Amino acid sequence: MIESHERVEQFKQEIGDMKVRDPATGRDRVFLRVGIALMAVGLGVAIAAYFMSHGTSNPLTQNDAVVLAIAGLTSAVVGGALFLRYSLASFMRFWLARFIYEQQAQTDRVVEKLGR
Amino acid sequence: MNVLELRGIHAAYDRIDVLFGVDLEVPESSVVALLGPNGAGKSTALRVAAGLHAPSSGDVLVAGRRVNGVRPEELARRGLCLIPEGRGIFPNLTVRENLRMMSYTGTSEAVIDERAFLRFPRLKERFTQTAGTLSGGEQQMLAMARGLATDPALLILDELSMGLAPIIVEELYEIVAQVAREGVSILVVEQFASTVLGVADFAAIIVHGRIARAGRPAELRDDLSKAYLGA
């Protein structure tokens, strides 16, 4: 059997090296902002492509405008999905925290009444 | 340094809250007893500590590292061992086969047997017997032998004395004390406090999901009757 102190040190080392998912919400905020930016940029590009195609009679330029419009709409859809995903996560987290707080407050009230 | 620490743990089953801000520390190489009446939340606290039950809020720290959300098998592989209430042995397998199960950790079968028989020589006599036919005490010995075969750094015991004769319980707690002297940190949950307080370095009393009192065993003896009887 490994020496006890050595075993404890090994345990600490292994726990320290373990990959633990970072519960921080910082990454969520970044994705939320990226989602908003993609939506705005995508819609802007699509609108610009519309005016671009109307401002020319050259079919090649119009084709470019169509490609730009599709790329813009794709970007807006992806951005919308990101926004929905991370804003919902944020809302649910808030809702859960509030729910736990209310449950706790309710239990405290019951315990207090029972104690009287 | 604390090998295990629970900070402000809240836990629930569906919508029923069970733990309300439990704080508990298991220092290195010590035995900590978590005591309390039936339904106080002792086993839930252990399940949270072992990663088997996710807390609603609060932090679980193992060796100073926050491990909320880490899978229990990840913790087990690194040296956290839980011996559950009801022993968790395989009744249809022999003692030998039950011990062989622990070779998943990479420990050789010979070493597993050596560790088991060193502390529990009686298991050697029962080596080829099916575990379900062992006495309650021998089953608990087998459960402990399996846990210790993994060379744990942190051992969590749930209701070691459940359904056992007092003399067997004393024998098992002597082994627990011996394991602790070898440097393994131990968190033990017990409903029957008298024996465990003899080997514990620290104890905490949990009542209605809250730690009502914590300290050295000698300081807590008087509070136990209040906790159990509400006197």
pTM: 0.69
How many Cβ contacts (< 8 angstroms) between chains A and B?
70
Nearest CA distance, B139 vs chain A (angstrom): 23
pLDDT digit string (tens) for B64-102? 889 988 889 889 888 899 998 887 889 899 999 999 888
Q: Is the Cβ pair B151, A4 closer than 8 Å?
A: no
Interface of B with A (CB under 8 A): 1, 3, 10, 12, 15, 17, 20, 28-29, 56-57, 62-70, 74, 78-79, 115, 151, 153-154, 182-185, 208
A111/B25: higher pLDDT: B25
Q: Is the Cβ pair B74, A18 closer than 8 Å?
A: yes
- Chain B contact set for A97 (CB, 8 A): 57
Domain annotation covers residue A91: yes
Q: Is the Cβ pair A4, B20 closer than 8 Å?
A: no
Provide the pLDDT for residue B227: 63
- Chain B contact set for A1 (CB, 8 A): 115, 151, 182
- Chain A contact set for B57 (CB, 8 A): 97, 100
- The answer to whether B144 and B68 have CB atoms below 8 angstroms apart is no
- The answer to whether B186 and B32 have CB atoms below 8 angstroms apart is yes
Return the C-alpha torsion angle B89, B90, B95, B99, nearest 10: -70
Q: Is the Cβ pair A103, B65 closer than 8 Å?
A: no
Question: Has residue A3 got a pLDDT over 60?
Answer: no
Provide the pLDDT for residue A21: 66
In this prediction the ipTM stands at: 0.75
Closest CA to B77 of A18, A109, A31: A18
Domain annotation covers residue A21: no
Q: Is the Cβ pair A15, B78 closer than 8 Å?
A: yes
Q: Is the Cβ pair A111, B208 closer than 8 Å?
A: yes
Number of separate domains in chain A? 1
Overall average pLDDT of the A89-107 stretch: 82
Q: Which of B70, B74, B183 is facing A7, going by the closest CB pair?
A: B183
Domain annotation covers residue A60: yes
pLDDT digit string (tens) for B111-160? 888 888 988 999 999 999 999 899 999 999 999 999 988 889 999 999 88
Domain annotation covers residue A94: yes
User: How far, CA to CA in Å, does B15 sit from each of A108, B11, B12?
Assistant: 15, 10, 6
Domain annotation covers residue A110: no
User: In the numeric block, which tokens belong to residue A101?
Assistant: 């707080």
Average of per-residue pLDDT values in chain A: 86
- The answer to whether B89 and B139 have CB atoms below 8 angstroms apart is yes
Residue B90: in which H helix or E strand, if any? none
Containing domain of residue A87, as a range? 39-105
What does the alpha-carbon distance between residue A98 and residue A17 come to, in Å, rounded to a whole number? 34
Question: Has residue B226 got a pLDDT over 70?
Answer: no
